[in-house]
Amino acid sequence: MKVIYPGRPQKGWAKELKCTGAGNGDGGCGAILLVEQDDLYETSKGYCDGTTDRYVTFMCSACGVETDVNGVPYNVTQKIISKEAWMKKHSAFSI
């Protein structure tokens, strides 16, 4: 195999995903995005019995809608930061 034009270096996990708004009221724009490990953050939903469900989420750069992601490898989920920390790191986005 021969590289005709080199791409950018890969940084960790990445996957092409569709902006659907899944888990967040739907309403995604349908954009197909290359979502990288650094694009992911943790969201959660607490219940009155004291339990909490945790989700891996990304925010679409085209429309701002959040989409929950399934199938992210365990070694990646262990490195995901909170939404608040992600928002500070990516100050171009706002809640």
Alpha carbon distance, N-terminus to C-terminus of the chain: 45
Mean pLDDT, 10 residues at a time, the chain of 95 residues: 80 91 94 94 94 95 95 93 92 58
The answer to whether position 83 is within a domain reads yes
The answer to whether position 67 is within a domain reads yes
What is the pLDDT, as a whole number, of residue 77? 93
Count of structural domains, the chain: 1
The answer to whether position 80 is within a domain reads yes
The answer to whether position 68 is within a domain reads yes
The answer to whether position 49 is within a domain reads yes
Q: Distance (Å, rounded) from C-alpha 2 to C-alpha 21?
A: 39
Q: Distance (Å, rounded) from C-alpha 14 to C-alpha 20?
A: 17
What is the pLDDT, as a whole number, of residue 11? 74
What is the pLDDT, as a whole number, of residue 44? 93
pTM, two decimal places: 0.81
The answer to whether position 7 is within a domain reads no
What DSSP state is assigned to residue 22? T
Give the structural domain span for 72.
Answer: 14-89
What is the pLDDT, as a whole number, of residue 7? 83
The answer to whether position 5 is within a domain reads no
The answer to whether position 32 is within a domain reads yes
What is the pLDDT, as a whole number, of residue 20? 97
